[in-house]
A and B are shown apart, each in its own frame.
Chain A
Amino acid sequence: MTTTTTDGARTVATAPPGPAAKMRRDRHGTRGSTRTFWLFAGPFLAGLLLFVYVPVGWSFYLSLFQAQNTVVPTRFVGLDNYADILTEGPFTDSLWTFTLFALIVVPLTYVLALALALLVHRIRVARAFFRSVFFIPTACSYVVASLVWKLSIFNGVRFGLANTVLGWFGIEPVAWIGTVSPPWYWMVLVTLRLWLQLGFYMILFLAALQQIPKELYEAAWTDGARPGWQTFRHITLPQLRTTSVAVVLLMLIAAYQAFDEFYNLLPNTPYARPPLVYLYYTALGQGQDFGHGSAGALVLSALITMVTLLQGRIFGFGKADS
């Protein structure tokens, strides 16, 4: 388009931006943004691909082969590795160990984390201090904590901390980790995990508690609800539903992934060997059986996915958003 000025000179029109020009500029902008996106996300996506998806794919490949002492096997065995690990044996035993562990740890962690959150939420002085005190153990390594539990607190000899306390009451030293009947080793495993994880879940609950409108409680009190258990049951707990579902989900997955405390406290014992420890010894220990190890890893992944979906369906994960 051209226009003519009053002095007769013809100039190239500076037309108002039309749809075509806008599209060109948008395309240019989009191209720039896309490039920037790939520059930043690319390396991490490549990492995800290289260190997550390729290994998962390779695991599936290995699971179909007899892969003994090699990750480039040649003998195809189909689903034999899956059949082997799913028949009665150490892998299925390890699933029971996990189930028992989850049955103890998940409800206990839920109740105690919520109780701690309620206490810290209600406290009027030094709230930040208590919040930090309970949260700090989360930063501790599982390995370090396991060693402290094993060598210091639940040491089986007379000078262990727990046994020293028992000694004050005239009770004989207990071999905490080595005693199967009664299963004192569960005490060590469970207290360790509680100490490490309670703070994290407490923070999640605390955040959720702070989101509950005070007006709800005021309305309830006006309607005659008594503060305490009644308001907790009919207001606090329902308001925490979404957080509760997320917390239980995280705790279940964390329980499935239990490794460090079992590995460091009770290495490779059949009565306390969760799936990851079994798979570690099968594939990465001297076993070097990558076929069975991979099959087990994929079965475990499938189980975690199923449990997650099932739990989401039962407790209605995300229902509050819809």
Chain B
Amino acid sequence: MSPEQNPSRSFGRRSFLRASGTVAAAGFLAACGGNTGRGGGSTGGKAAISQWYHQYGEAGTQQAALRYAKTYSHADVSVQWIPGDYASKLSSGLVSSSGPDVFEFHPDVQMAKSGQIVPLDDIIADVKSDFTEKDLAANSVDGKVYGIRMIDDPQFLYYRKSLLEKAGVQPPTTFDELIDASRKLDKDGVKGLYLGLKAGSDILASPLVWATGSELLTADHKVAFDTPATVEGLKKMRELYTSKTLLLGAPTDWFDPSAFIQGLTAMQWCGLWAMPGIQKALGDDFGIVPLPGIGSAGRPVVYNGGWSTYVSAKAKDVDAAKAFVKWLWIEQTKLQEDWCTSYGFHIPPRKSLAAKATKLQSGTAAEAVKLFGTNGHYDDPYWTQAMTTISQDMVNNAVVSGKNPESEVAKARTRVEAELKKIA
């Protein structure tokens, strides 16, 4: 029997090796293809849209997002709920072919100028006047609107009324009063104030500059924060930090109210979103104040965080993605109200919706809306993420590491100017 006739010989050692090698190669190539998480371009004639959210902390938000997507009948919307470092996952997604079609993020000039996102003027045109001017400005680059504001998230100082009364302290209205209050409240195992794991050098980097009366950039996008007032602000923050009354190293960061609720601190910087949880835990035993002004030109600051929706220029079907955004964040006012007030509290960016949001019209929530209206500060799309990191380094170096504030401000100015050249 010739080898050709003998199956055992024909599928010998060498053939086996060859075949298994081929399988290995095929497996490798298949792995290269990978699951992008985007699904196909369309299913059953419907467009397929991939929508990305960061992981919200409030219970029920993920289910709500999935429900909204399922309700949309003109396309198959797949929701990706991304825990952890959302910004990094998003940035790598946007430069690759596996990114989202629709996603939430913060306004950023470089995303617009590099063509990662598309203008949304056409879908917002009919209701533009119903959005606040500041929200529109925060999402506009060169006169075009790139993002639809989903939620406004004011941030302020929460304080525990009973602890302040016990210590004979009034809610602080100046930065000196804040330092004094933090000192007096730091007792019996409860720290005075919690500004997050980085002692506020991250989340308060911009509000600190605003609180001194300075701006980050001028209206024509030039450096504006390098003022004596900013230096004074850094010195005051350093004074607060060296008072050793700040809670440091809590299990959760500033955006989670756990440290405040658990009685680890008497005051905490946090957002409106946390208010329902705080109410549930503490009842009426809490109040809010803005970040107090610093120095003679100082002003109280309520920082508006929040999120906006964008459409990727690499979306499989940009028009379908825009149509979905229009449906969800412009036409479906009931869903927007649900998103803003049924889980954590957020202020609806639409004036008409904000006026109707009954949960925000009484008690401390109403106070929050009022403070937001009078002291709200918004992100500038021209203040890029690189600049944010630079200002955070400036505050961290001057406040936490105790470096010379004048030279830190000067260094930050040089670095921000270099960044501004990139977007000129």
Point out residues on A near B: beta carbons under 8 Å.
32, 35-36, 39-40, 42-44, 46-47, 50, 66, 68-71, 84, 89-90, 151, 154-158, 160, 175-181, 268-271, 280-282, 284-290
Please give the distance in Å from A229's CB to the nearest CB on chain B: 42
Please determine whether A68 and B110 come into contact, CB atoms closer than 8 angstroms.
yes
Please determine whether A157 and B251 come into contact, CB atoms closer than 8 angstroms.
yes
Chain A residue numbers with a CB within 8 Å of B111 are 69
Please give the distance in Å from A143's CB to the nearest CB on chain B: 10
Among candidates B24, B87, B116, B415, residue contacting A285 with C-beta atoms closer than 8 Å: B87
Point out residues on B near A: beta carbons under 8 Å.
14, 17-18, 21-22, 24-25, 28-29, 32, 85, 87-88, 91-92, 94-95, 106, 108, 110-111, 113-114, 116, 189, 197-199, 201-202, 247-251, 259, 264, 385-386, 388-389, 392-393, 396-397, 400-402, 415, 418, 422
Please determine whether B400 and A40 come into contact, CB atoms closer than 8 angstroms.
no
Please give the distance in Å from B187's CB to the nearest CB on chain A: 12
Given contacts A39-B21, A66-B422, A89-B415, contact A178 B385 (CB under 8 A): no
Given contacts A39-B18, A270-B393, A270-B401, contact A285 B251 (CB under 8 A): no
Please determine whether A36 and B17 come into contact, CB atoms closer than 8 angstroms.
yes
Please determine whether B251 and A42 come into contact, CB atoms closer than 8 angstroms.
no
Please determine whether B249 and A176 come into contact, CB atoms closer than 8 angstroms.
yes
A154 to B189 CA separation, bound complex (whole angstroms): 17
Please determine whether B114 and A68 come into contact, CB atoms closer than 8 angstroms.
yes
* A-B contact list, 17 entries, CB within 8 Å: A36-B21, A39-B25, A40-B17, A43-B29, A69-B114, A70-B116, A89-B415, A157-B249, A175-B247, A269-B201, A270-B393, A271-B401, A285-B88, A286-B106, A287-B91, A287-B389, A288-B385
Considering the complex, give the chain B residue whose CB is closest to the CB of A75. Answer: B422
Interface of B is mostly: helix
Among candidates B28, B385, B401, B418, residue contacting A43 with C-beta atoms closer than 8 Å: B28
A286 to B90 CA separation, bound complex (whole angstroms): 8
Q: Which residue of A35, A157, A284 has the most chain B CB atoms within 10 A of its CB atom? A: A157
Given contacts A68-B114, A157-B249, A157-B264, contact A287 B197 (CB under 8 A): no
Given contacts A155-B251, A158-B189, A270-B396, contact A285 B21 (CB under 8 A): no
Please determine whether A269 and B396 come into contact, CB atoms closer than 8 angstroms.
yes
Chain A residue numbers with a CB within 8 Å of B95 are 69-71, 288, 290
Chain A residue numbers with a CB within 8 Å of B418 are 84
Please determine whether B250 and A40 come into contact, CB atoms closer than 8 angstroms.
no
Please determine whether B25 and A42 come into contact, CB atoms closer than 8 angstroms.
yes
Please determine whether B88 and A284 come into contact, CB atoms closer than 8 angstroms.
yes
A153 to B16 CA separation, bound complex (whole angstroms): 54
Please give the distance in Å from A117's CB to the nearest CB on chain B: 35
A290 to B110 CA separation, bound complex (whole angstroms): 13
Please determine whether A39 and B22 come into contact, CB atoms closer than 8 angstroms.
yes
Please determine whether B91 and A286 come into contact, CB atoms closer than 8 angstroms.
yes
Among candidates A175, A178, A270, A286, residue contacting B87 with C-beta atoms closer than 8 Å: A286
Given contacts A70-B114, A284-B91, 13 further A-B contacts (CB under 8 A): A40-B24, A68-B422, A69-B110, A70-B95, A84-B418, A158-B189, A179-B248, A181-B402, A268-B202, A268-B392, A269-B396, A284-B92, A286-B388
The 7 closest A-B pairs by CB, nearest first: A156-B249, A39-B21, A178-B248, A175-B248, A286-B385, A69-B114, A175-B249
Chain A residue numbers with a CB within 8 Å of B386 are 282, 287, 289
Please give the distance in Å from A162's CB to the nearest CB on chain B: 10
Considering the complex, give the chain B residue whose CB is closest to the CB of A72. Answer: B95
A177 to B28 CA separation, bound complex (whole angstroms): 43
Please give the distance in Å from A192's CB to the nearest CB on chain B: 15
